[in-house]
Amino acid sequence: MPRLYHLSSCAILLVAIVTYCDATKSQIRMPGVVPEADSYLCTSLELSDQENYLTGFKALTTKGTAHHILLFGCEEPGSEELVWDCGEMNKPDDELPRAPTCGSKPAILYAWALDAPPLELPKDVGFQVGGLSNIRHLVMQVHYMHSKQEPDETGLEITHTEEPQPKLAATMLLVTGGTLPKNKTESFETACVIEEDVVMHPFAYRTHTHRHGKEVSGWLVKEDEKQEDHWELIGKRDPQLPQMFVPVEDSSMTIQQGDMVTARCVMNNNENHDISMGATGEDEMCNFYIMYWTDGDVMHDNTCYSPGAPDYRWTREADLNHIPK
């Protein structure tokens, strides 16, 4: 297992971090890896039988070292190795075994990039892990854009508590495929109907693209009896800013069964070649994350995908109207 620096409640240990009496801070770190350029590396942490609730996250790195970090909740990790190559779409690392992030469908818990500040969840909200939950392991994926000559211990500091939280958190990812044509500005769109019987309270969102992204927005769409669509902004942000989770536009917003969630990425390509959506630094990405809480169970399926431009349009495939500019 990778290095886990565990800080006991109400104590100061050698790593010089103070914890409060009702919460604990733990760290999951890369165990001194020397990454190649454009590599995706994963390491995992097995959770105890004691149920815990994750309430805060802080990256232990900088954008000069890690392009981005994703934290997944898994029933089983993709590999039993200490570190493995989990970049399923990029060039394999010949020195490491290749495997997915999780052995079964992963749940995204947290994401970080571009020196985003720490995140603290709202009061009484937490990600349920360990115990009787389906999340038995945490898997941290680090994307290294550049090679390193010295061992790296990039990681996350996670705040957690054994005190049950009345509101359960989850993160939904809206994402597209597609191709960004050369010398053109293009929009990449995705939309999904909420089919599960759940009431979601979104409280934070995050955008992510690579260097061509200009604007990423997410919207809640409700259709009336006349089949007219009413759009409410979840959040809009320049993806070249620090890629932090920021509060949603309307803190009273709820998303329910039958509603539609949508996302759009506007990208500009001034280069003389097409750019595909993909995992490497030379590719692009269109991601919009919604962090939400519920009073009961969270959704089982928290991914919304479309093929993206040029094959997918809101007006054509999703039959949406009154689309905001």
Residue ranges per structural domain of the chain: 4-165, 172-317
Q: What pTM, to 2 d.p., does this model score?
A: 0.86
pLDDT per residue over 243-266, tens digit each?
889 999 899 999 999 999 999 999
- The letter for the amino acid at 310 is P
> Are both 4-165 and 172-317 of the same fold?
yes
pLDDT of residue 92: 58
Residues with a catalytic annotation lie at 67-68, 141, 143, 208, 210, 285
Residue with tokens 């939280």: 165
Q: Which fold has domain 4-165?
A: Jelly Rolls (2.60.120)
pLDDT < 70: residue spans in the chain? 1-21, 88-94
For the annotated binding site, the residues are 67-68, 143, 208, 210, 285
Question: What is the rounded distance in angstroms from the CA atom of residue 228 to the CA atom of residue 156?
Answer: 44
Q: Give the alpha-carbon dihedral of 29, 239, 38, 170, to 10 degrees.
A: 40
pLDDT of residue 1: 37
Q: How far is CA 84 from the centre of its chain?
A: 20
pLDDT of residue 8: 27
Q: With respect to CATH, is domain 172-317 assigned 2.60.120.230? A: yes
For the annotated binding site for Cu(2+), the residues are 67-68, 143, 208, 210, 285
What is the CB neighbour count within 10 angstroms for residue 95? Answer: 8
